[in-house]
Structures are given as structure tokens and as C-alpha cells.
Amino acid sequence: MLAGRRVVLGITGGVAAYKAAYLARRLVERGAVVRTVMTDAATEFIGPHTFAAITGTRPVVDLFDADDVSPHTTLGRWADAIVVAPATAATLARLANGLSDDSVSATVLATAAPVVIAPAMHTEMWMHPATVSNVERLESFGYHIVSPEAGALAGGDTGLGRLADPDRIADAVAGVLPGGPLTGVEVLITAGGTREPIDRVRFLGNHSSGKMGNAIAAAAARRGAHVTLVTAGPGIEHPRVTVVPVDTAAEMAEATWEMAEKADVAVMAAAVADFRPAKALDGKLRRSDGPPMIELEPTPDVLRGISEMTDRPFLVGFAAETGGIDEAVAKAQRKDVDLLVANDVTAPGSGFGTETNQVTIVLPDGSTDPWSLLPKSEVAERLWDRIAELRKSEGTST
């Protein structure tokens, strides 16, 4: 995604400025054409020649003493994406308020390209209400924030505020760049295993890790789609993925049905409980009260709710089976989906929590296509290839 793309890297004055050299190197290695801009404070921490040597072009430091008469507007127009790493608290404040009194903030203000910001600072500065509100403001501009990590900070301190790993930042830059076959496509994905409360501390759940759904979300975002990931699992970080965390089947149904109205494609990869305790105890069940009788009731059918919509998205269902695919073939027809991914969760290397999966693609006409055991990321890529073929045959171009 970065090959041949034009990236402006802004470096500001924090101790982590030296890591911007690694980031510049990563971007260049991944094929990007990189130009750099530095604040005066940044040059106190790392020399401009380092970036000149890595990128092949000298950084712009002083707006009024550069080869170009208006370097900020030239770079702002030239960029396919701008990344500020590290971004100091001072730079966050400037950007949040449209102040453009140095080369980095002026370049960011003078661009229409997507912007990635990777802050780095001491924990107190990061948690300060001023910084928190500046970050919220920057997010409201559509800037993508790569949040700092916890770990060792300058001066022997430890805490939240360390610059994100350069590869994570480079991934975010690749993620905000427009392009890809799913550009403009709204994708809705469910993932993870729902949890139905028995009492305040216990739940009925299942072994789903959310890995398959996350891989499908990441692959769609890489192809340019905007993804809403409704998940009872851990979720993923990507500029084009909006994560909606849920716990129960009812919460998943509500969030999913609301989002489904604007989705072009819906992939229902979550393991949703079919039944839940009819009444969750307010407190905690006690051993001394003896084994409880738990009455169950059905949960909302998330998949059916979408298949019954009048103007429904292209619908992909998942069926976790424990032997054979006859039930999955019947489910594909019963649930009125466009494609069903069946997997035998008892097969070696397949199913919950594994890095690999062996799936069979089932179409509504009953035809089946068993795929070999593959990494979940590869299953996700092939699934999007298959969805593209089917949508094309239905007359949808993307």
C-alpha cells in the first residue's frame, strides 16, 4: 500500500525524535517517497542530516529559510499522507487550535491529505485534561491518532506515553491512504463470542476468540473499505475500522441491525449465543444455596434480522459445525444468505482461538467449495476475492 506513495513525516521536539529515523527508514523500505519537516525543538534531539541521509532530501526546518518559497503549502499539496511522529504536547495544542507558527503545524494545516498523529510524552502530560481535549479535537478533524504505549520513558520513568512502535505507525499511514478495490464500500462485521450473564460475575459464553472476524475486518480495510466491527472480542486498530464493543447477543443484534442499514456487505463471523438465562441474578449465586436451575430463553437471531431486511446488504454468514457440513448447507438456504462460511471447529488446526482455519464455502444453491487449511489472514483475503466475484456477477462493480 505504501509503494510509490508520497508521505510527509513531521518530527517535533521530544526525546522520541530519534525513533522518527526508524520510522523514516521503515517508510522508505516499504516503497514510500518520504519528505521530512522538523520543528526547531526537534533539531535539539536529532540532526536534520540523519533524515536527509535516510530519505535523500533535506528536511524543512525554517519556513523562511528553505529552498522553496512556500514549503508548507508545497508539501501539503504534494503529500498523499502526513504523519507527525513524535508529536509533542505543544504540537498537539497547536494543531488542535489551527496555529501554524512552525514548519510542522503549517504543513499539517495546509493539507487536504489524511493525517496520522503519533504522540509521545510523559504520562502526566498525556493524561492532562488539556492534552486529552486537544486529542479529542484532532480526532474530530478526522486525524488518526496512533496512541502511545506503556513502557520506559525518558529520565527513568515508566508509564503511558512512549511513542508507538514505528511499524505500528507505518501501518497506520498505509491504512489512511486512499485506494484499493473496496474504496467507498461500507462493510459491517461481527466477531467474538457473546457473553450472557447468569449473575453479576458469571456468564454463558463460548470459545470464540474473534480472530477470524478481526482478520476479515483487517483485510477489508486494507482493500479500502470502511469497516464497522461489532465485536464481543478484542477488536483491531486501523484508521478505517470503527470498533463497536458489545457483550451480549442482544447488544450485538441492536448495534448490528442499526449499522446494517447503511452497509453494502455484512459478514457475520461472531459466535452468538442462541440462548441466554431468562433472568440474570442481581448479586452472586452462592455455593451454599446449592446448584441453581437456570431457565434459558432464545436470543435475537442477528443473521436472520439482516436477511429479512427489505434492502439488505450482501450477506455472509458463518456456521461453526462439529462434524460434516450438511447442517451448514441447510443453514445457507434457511437463513437466506449470499454465502456461508462453514467450519468444523473440531478439525485439527481449525476453529476457535487457532491461527489457521479450514473452511468450506457454501452457496445458497447448495454448492460447496472446501478450502485447504490456511492462516486466518489468508482465509480472509480469499473470502474477499470470492465476495468480489459474487457481487460482480450480481452487477455490483466493487
Ligand X SMILES: Cc1cc2nc3c(=O)[nH]c(=O)nc-3n(C[C@H](O)[C@H](O)[C@H](O)COP(=O)(O)O)c2cc1C
Q: Cell 480495510 belongs to which residue?
A: 221
How far, in Å, CA of 177 to CA of 26, rounded?
Answer: 16
How far, in Å, CA of 83 to CA of 6, rounded?
Answer: 11
Residues of span 126-185 touching ligand X by CB under 6 A = 154
> Which residue lies nearer to ligand X by CB, 39 or 377?
39
Question: What are the φ/ψ torsions at residue 328 (nearest 5 degrees)?
Answer: -65, -40
In the complex, what is the shortest distance from the CB of residue 45 to ligand X, in angstroms, rounded to a whole number?
7
Q: Could you say which of 95, 121, 227, 249 contacts ligand X (CB under 6 A)?
A: 121
Contacts of 231 (CB under 8 A, 6+ apart): 189, 190, 191, 192, 210, 213, 214, 243, 244, 245, 246, 270
Closest CA to 143 of 153, 134, 151, 152: 134
Question: Does 88 contact ligand X by CB under 6 A?
Answer: yes
Question: Does 99 contact ligand X by CB under 6 A?
Answer: no
In order, the DSSP letters of 141-184 are: TTPEE---EEEE-GGG-EEEEEPPPHHHHHHHHHHHS--STTTT
> Which residue lies nearer to ligand X by CB, 13 or 59?
13
Question: Does 102 contact ligand X by CB under 6 A?
Answer: yes
Question: Does 362 contact ligand X by CB under 6 A?
Answer: no
**CA 179, chain centre distance (Å):** 16
Q: How many positions of this chain bind ligand X (CB under 6 A)?
A: 17
Question: Does 39 contact ligand X by CB under 6 A?
Answer: yes
In the complex, what is the shortest distance from the CB of residue 83 to ligand X, in angstroms, rounded to a whole number?
15
Q: Distances from the Cα of 118 to the Cαs of 42, 97, 213, 383, in angstroms?
A: 15, 17, 27, 32
Question: Does 59 contact ligand X by CB under 6 A?
Answer: no
In the complex, what is the shortest distance from the CB of residue 101 to ligand X, in angstroms, rounded to a whole number?
9
Q: Is 357 a catalytic residue?
A: no
Cell numbers representing residue 229 in the block: 466491527
Question: Does 120 contact ligand X by CB under 6 A?
Answer: yes
> Which residue lies nearer to ligand X by CB, 13 or 235?
13
In the complex, what is the shortest distance from the CB of residue 269 to ligand X, in angstroms, rounded to a whole number?
40
Helical spans, DSSP H, in 30-88: 48-55, 71-78
How far, in Å, CA of 40 to CA of 90, rounded?
Answer: 13
Question: Does 303 contact ligand X by CB under 6 A?
Answer: no
Question: Does 36 contact ligand X by CB under 6 A?
Answer: no
Contacts of 29 (CB under 8 A, 6+ apart): none
Contact 372, 350 (CB under 8 A): no
Q: At what angle do helices 376-393 and 211-222 cross, to 10 degrees?
A: 60
In the complex, what is the shortest distance from the CB of residue 49 to ligand X, in angstroms, rounded to a whole number?
18
- Measured from each CB, the residue nearest to ligand X is 14
In the complex, what is the shortest distance from the CB of residue 38 to ligand X, in angstroms, rounded to a whole number?
8
> Which residue lies nearer to ligand X by CB, 150 or 154?
154
Question: Does 41 contact ligand X by CB under 6 A?
Answer: yes
In the complex, what is the shortest distance from the CB of residue 90 to ligand X, in angstroms, rounded to a whole number?
4
Question: Does 90 contact ligand X by CB under 6 A?
Answer: yes
> Which residue lies nearer to ligand X by CB, 85 or 215?
85
Write down the catalytic residue from 134, 206, 343, 357: 206
Cell numbers representing residue 281 in the block: 441474578
Question: Does 344 contact ligand X by CB under 6 A?
Answer: no
Closest CA to 130 of 192, 88, 70, 164: 88
> Which residue lies nearer to ligand X by CB, 90 or 110?
90
Question: Does 42 contact ligand X by CB under 6 A?
Answer: yes
Catalytic sites, residue numbers: 206
| Sites of contact with ligand X (CB under 6 A) | 12-16, 39, 41-42, 88-91, 102, 120-121, 125, 154
